[in-house]
Amino acid sequence: MSTTNEDLQQWIDEVAALTRPDQIKWCDGSDAEYRGLIDEMLASGDLLELNQETHPNCYLHRSDPNDVARVEHLTFVCTKHQQDAGPNNNWMHPAEAHAQMNGLFEGCMQGRTMYVIPYCMGPIDSPYARCGVEVTDSPYVVVNMNLMTRMGAAALERIEREGSFVKGLHSIGDLDPEVRFIMHFPDELQIQSFGSGYGGNALLGKKCHALRIASYQARNEGWLAEHMLIVEVESPQGEKHYLAAAFPSACGKTNLAMLIPPETYDGWKVRTIGDDIAWLHVDDDGRLRAVNPESGYFGVVPGTNRKTNHNAYDMIRRDAIFTNVAVTADNEPWWEGKDSGEPVIDWKGNQINGSGEAAAHPNSRFTVAAKQNPSYSPLADDPAGVPISAIIFGGRRRELAPLVYEALDWGHGVLVGASVASETTAAAAGKVGVTRRDPMAMKPFCGYNFANYWGHWLSFTARAKRLPKIFHVNWFRQDQDGKFLWPGFGDNLRVMRWIIDRCENRVDAVETPIGYLPKDGDIDTNGLTIDDATMRSLLSVDRDAWLAELEAVAEYFEEYEDRVPELLEAERERVVAGLKA
Ligand code: SAT
Ligand code: MN
């Protein structure tokens, strides 16, 4: 196979001349191709077969122990001017980055097969969808892209019809952590990734294309590419709402997108449109519509069990690729928080020795096709996407942020999003549990200067007539002993219900300087063993702590100097004045 698109053909020829692979394979996305690659990887030891009786078509990949998470310090946005990448990105001049990457890619595929993966982010017939081509020397990347994106023949056809696509070049190199770079060239619609085979570093359709490059395109074209799940909530009366929610990596987006209603919520249905990324466009009626550019999930495994998320638990019992989990004596996958079985071999392939170290890596992952999700919504395939009623921001915060509050209006909501902070998780290399600013949960993913990004968000008041309401939630508030105050998981539907009632103007709220909070008793706790005092502390606003928070936000904004929109600073001052009054 090759292509009628000259630009694509020429690029593939150039890449092949540079990297010198033994052979080139154009991927068609077929089941036979998927099967063939799995068999090759089983033969090479890249994949290990798991118990096929209990877990049909499930396989385990052990990544290099130095290559288990995204590497933000090695991820760059290469624009001509450093200010355009902003203080939120590592920057390198495109000419320098190209010279460096060309040196690394030179001859790197000798002895290997080069795979050409045409893919489409978004429903294949959607006007909102965008295509790309990833070239890689990793068969693991090909099978993951098969599960995560609409890849193969149909995507290539669309590329040949439309002509435009994002170019992604990837090689695992020698998996040397010292020689690892994830480079983005937004003006050229190019991504180059070297030296890692892991998730967001290597599956270039995901964070590199659908967020970093897409956010840059979205700014120029008047839409938004966001790190958000999209969930459909249907009441017993058949009223449907679509909510989009942004949380940092490994803060429970997949669980919220696949939420199982509490027992007392008879007749409520929750369905998944997307679990990680949303592309938001203004439609002809002036509403925001969302599509999920992906068609599969790359989810955190630890903590998944029948109680926390039986949909996810069932979903990964067949046709799933596990990365860096442990295995039991019966050769079943095992992870911390799985409520059955015992690990005998850890994620590195060593016999468990009782050292107390985690058996599965804390950032171990499953990859599955979205259609396998018992709560999959067919609207995930709708080319028109779904209209969004509410946007929800959240972070992992031991204190300060109440369980839920509503922004006063869109402009204030942008401040709420821009102020998001969260404790770091194992999804990225580095220390875990440190609170850092993560505006809109996009810190690792915004492909341009955050200050311009906030300005772009603010511009939607002029672009759209019927904007969604904006909320902030915090499922992670703890008491002095470190105990979580809110049960989380399925019970988060109780909070989403209040959010929906607010969108429908069915429930009043208490106005405070930080936003609207639920009145006493308006969050349904029927069936929960949570006392009034706990609910009050979950919904309390500590004035002094909030004043300190807004001061910290001001300091954070200072890094962005004069690019910070005046409107955003005015919103911040408005909240400060309210708190002082
Ligand atoms: O590694 S990924 O970026 O794909 C997953 C995540 O961190 O959200
Ligand atoms: Mn994510």
Please state the φ and ψ torsions of residue 111, each to the nearest 5 degrees. Answer: 80, 0
Ligand nearest to the CA of 275: 2
Burial 525-555 (b: 16+ CB within 10 A, else e): beebeeeeebbeebbebeeeebeebbeebee
pLDDT averaged over the chain? 97
With a CB cutoff of 8 Å and minimum separation 6, the contacts of 36 are: none
List the structure tokens of 10: 């020429």
Is residue 466 located within the same domain as residue 325? no
pLDDT in tens, 171-183: 999 999 999 999 9
Question: For residue 213, how far is its CA from the centre of ligand 1 (angstroms)?
Answer: 16
Q: How far is the CA of 249 from the centre of ligand 1 (A)?
A: 6
* Calpha distance 78→479 (Å, rounded): 44
Please check whether residues 386 and 400 belong to one and the same domain.
yes
The sheet with strand 48-49 has its strands ordered as: 48-49, 59-61, 321-323, 365-369, 296-300
* Domain end (from 165, 186, 221): 221
> Are 124 and 191 contained in the same domain?
yes
Q: Is 365 in the pocket of ligand 1 (CB under 6 A)?
A: no
Q: Is the CB of 272 under 6 A from ligand 1?
A: no
Tokens matching residue 289:
């519509």
Q: Are residues 322 and 412 in the same domain?
A: no
Mean pLDDT throughout 365-382?
A: 98
Note the pLDDT tens digit of each residue in 310-331: 999 999 999 999 999 999 999 9
Q: Are residues 266 and 238 in the same domain?
A: yes
What backbone torsions phi and psi does residue 334 show, to the nearest 5 degrees?
-140, 145
Protein residue with least CA distance to atom 3, ligand 1? 200
Position 407 in a domain: yes
Question: pTM above 0.85?
Answer: yes
pLDDT at 518: 98
| CA atoms of 166 and 193, how far apart (whole Å) | 14
> What's the CA angle centered on 142, arms 137 and 147, to 5 degrees?
165
Sequence letter at residue 270: V
**% of the chain surpassing 70 pLDDT:** 100
Q: Is 251 among the residues known to form the active site?
A: yes
Q: Residues 497, 269: contact at Cβ < 8 Å?
A: no
Q: Residue 310: give the domain boundaries.
A: 296-372
Q: What is the Cα Rg of the chain in Å?
A: 23
Q: Which of 550, 275, 255, 518 is nearest to 403 (CA)?
A: 518
Euclidean distance between CA atoms 472 and 392, whole angstroms: 5
3-state secondary structure of 473: strand
Residue 55 lies in a domain: no
Which pLDDT band, with edges at 50, 70 and 90, does 1 fall under?
low
What CATH number did the domain enclosing 339 receive? Answer: 2.170.8.10
Nearest CA to ligand 1 atom 5: 200
Q: How far apart are CA 345 and CA 363, in angstroms?
A: 17
Domain presence at residue 62? no
Whether the CB-CB separation of 57 and 180 falls below 8 Å is answered with: no
Which one of 63, 68, 70 would you pick to mutate in the ligand 1 pocket, going by the greatest count of ligand atoms within 8 A of its CB? 70
User: Which ligand ends up closest to the CA of 228?
Assistant: 2
Nearest CA to ligand 1 atom 4: 200
Q: How many residues does the chain have?
A: 581
Catalytic residue among 120, 251, 446, 503: 251
| 189-243 pLDDT per residue, tens | 999 999 999 999 999 999 999 999 999 999 999 999 999 999 999 999 999 999 9
334 and 363: one domain?
Answer: yes
Q: How many domains does the chain have?
A: 3
70 close to ligand 1 (CB < 6 Angstrom): yes
Task: Give residue 77 CA to ligand 1 midpoint distance, Å.
Answer: 17
Q: What is the pLDDT of residue 355?
A: 85
List beta partners, residue 323.
Answer: 61, 365
Counting from 1 in the atom list of ligand 1, the atom nearest the Cα of 206 is 4
